């Protein structure tokens, strides 16, 4: 387990990593480690999987959703400052689909307002922002190793990485029942350790992460080129990032028809994500009904994910592109 933690920390350019039971656990323990508590607010995005916001709520804090940038689909830093209140404790960007959020702008805001910056890096293994790996930029960063992720275990697993040993020691203690010695516990923690078998599997897979990442990036380049003449919008890649294409997400005004067309040809398209978090029944019950996030709401109606994994062949990529042409 410690071997994998060391190797993973090095792979993401961080001083240390702490293996935990899932990406969700990573987020919850990171939030607790920086002291997020009931009544606090954490600024984040609504265009993501619910596991980004759920741990904020489970800490008794309130997710404050701000709108996204229409080209990267990541949290729009220009809107963050207006969302800050005296109760704001942290900003939690998601490196969505494998593209890093605008970390320089977010760091600047976080520093100016004395806020923690926690990366949801569940989709961003080996992604880079201005030459720095996601996982080493925020105060803490949270990874998922769910089987479908760019680095996936054979079951649930996750990690928290960073450069602040005090915060990481706190995550280490919280994941293991607040333990100080074998049967001494100085606070209540959780049973959220990484499974040793999953850590061993991840340790065997980690040396392949670079070649798998390059394969994903090459496939994205093929899709970009072959889809250039269609009226779908291909992913924008910021010039200062290494996008790792956990998902290859295009946009189409005829998204639902396109999805049907892909399915009819045996192609597994997906929608990430069809319902913004502020429109989820679970959050509507908590009073988010009046919140309007126009870009998030529009994007949720237009996005469609094409197949993306390292083993895709050129023939398969062309087959998918042909189906997109036929539908448009």
Residues in touch with ligand PLP (CB under 6 A): 22-24, 48-49, 51-52, 94, 120, 122-123, 144, 146, 156, 158
Shortest gap between Cβ of 181 and ligand PLP (angstroms)? 29
Shortest gap between Cβ of 243 and ligand PLP (angstroms)? 15
Residue nearest to ligand PLP (CB): 23
Q: What are the CA-CA distances from residue 31 to residues 202, 211, 231, 263, 307 (Å)?
A: 24, 32, 41, 39, 33
If phi > 0 it is left, if psi is from -120 to 50 it is alpha, else beta; for residue 114 that is: left
Nearer to ligand PLP, 27 or 327 (CB): 27
C-alpha span between 24 and 274 (Å, rounded): 20
Nearer to ligand PLP, 122 or 250 (CB): 122
CB 138 within 8 A of CB 67: no
C-alpha span between 308 and 265 (Å, rounded): 16
Nearer to ligand PLP, 116 or 143 (CB): 143
Shortest gap between Cβ of 95 and ligand PLP (angstroms)? 8
Shortest gap between Cβ of 75 and ligand PLP (angstroms)? 12
DSSP string over 207-263: GGHHHHHHHHHHHHHHHHHHTTTSSSBPPP--TTEE---SSEEEE-TTHHHHHHHHH
Nearer to ligand PLP, 5 or 323 (CB): 5
List the structure tokens of 34.
């920086």
Q: How far is CA 296 from the centre of its chain?
A: 16
Shortest gap between Cβ of 36 and ligand PLP (angstroms)? 16
List the structure tokens of 186.
């100085």
């Amino acid at each position: 387990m410690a071997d994998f933690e060391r190797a993973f920390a090095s792979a993401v350019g961080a001083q240390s990593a702490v293996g935990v039971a899932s990406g969700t656990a990573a987020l919850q323990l990171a939030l607790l480690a920086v002291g997020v508590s009931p009544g606090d607010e954490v600024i984040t995005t609504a265009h993501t999987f619910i596991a980004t916001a759920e741990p904020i709520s489970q800490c008794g804090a309130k997710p404050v959703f701000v709108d996204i940038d229409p080209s990267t689909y990541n949290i729009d830093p220009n809107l963050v400052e207006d969302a800050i209140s005296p109760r704001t404790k942290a900003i939690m960007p998601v490196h969505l689909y494998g593209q890093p959020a605008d970390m320089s702008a977010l760091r600047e805001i976080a520093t100016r307002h004395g806020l923690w910056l926690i990366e949801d890096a569940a989709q961003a293994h080996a992604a880079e922002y201005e030459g720095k790996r996601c996982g080493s930029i925020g105060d803490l960063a949270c990874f998922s190793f769910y089987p479908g992720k760019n680095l996936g275990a054979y079951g649930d697993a996750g990690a928290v990485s960073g450069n602040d040993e005090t915060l990481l020691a706190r995550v280490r203690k919280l994941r293991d029942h607040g333990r100080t010695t074998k049967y001494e516990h100085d606070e209540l923690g959780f049973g959220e350790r990484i499974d040793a078998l999953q850590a061993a599997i991840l340790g065997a897979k980690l040396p392949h992460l670079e070649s798998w990442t390059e394969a994903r990036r090459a496939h994205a380049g093929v899709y970009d080129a072959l889809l250039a003449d269609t009226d779908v919008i291909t992913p924008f890649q910021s010039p200062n990032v290494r996008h790792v294409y956990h998902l290859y997400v295009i946009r189409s005004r005829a998204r639902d028809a396109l999805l049907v067309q892909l399915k009819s040809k045996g192609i597994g398209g997906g929608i990430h994500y069809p319902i913004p978090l502020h429109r989820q029944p679970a959050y509507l019950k908590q009073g988010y009904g009046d919140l309007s996030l126009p870009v998030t709401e529009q994007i949720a109606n237009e996005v469609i994910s094409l197949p993306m994994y390292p083993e895709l062949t050129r023939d398969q990529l062309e087959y998918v592109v042909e189906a997109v042409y036929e539908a448009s």
